[in-house]
Amino acid sequence: DMVDGMRMDLWKSRYNNFDELYLYCYYVAGTVGLMSVPIMGIAPESKATTESVYNAALALGIANQLTNILSDVGE
């Protein structure tokens, strides 16, 4: 999925609505968040479910990408 997101950069630079932008953010950054969980791990004492950790990692990746895009708007 991450590679597909990078490929999107080759043919598309504008998105018609938030759903399209969200999908792009999933591909280029949400996937990075998901891939980070096994590398960083989940603390053994954590009471969070594995699913909630992955959901949070996905949301953080998407939020970071949206923030990055917003910082480019002024340019």
Domain positions in the chain: 1-72
Residue whose token pair is 């399209």 = 20
Task: For residue 8, give the nearest of 17, 25, 16 by alpha carbon.
Answer: 25
Which pLDDT tens digit goes with each residue over 13-67? 889 999 999 999 999 999 999 999 999 999 999 999 999 999 999 999 999 999 9
C-alpha 22/C-alpha 20 separation (Å) is 5
Give residue 73's pLDDT band: very low, low, confident or very high (50, 70, 90). confident
In this structure, how many other beta carbons lie within 10 angstroms of the beta carbon of residue 18? 10
Helix axes 2-11, 31-40, angle to 10 degrees: 150
Task: Write the pLDDT tens digit of every residue in 2-27.
Answer: 999 999 989 988 899 999 999 999 99
pLDDT (0 to 100) of residue 75 = 74
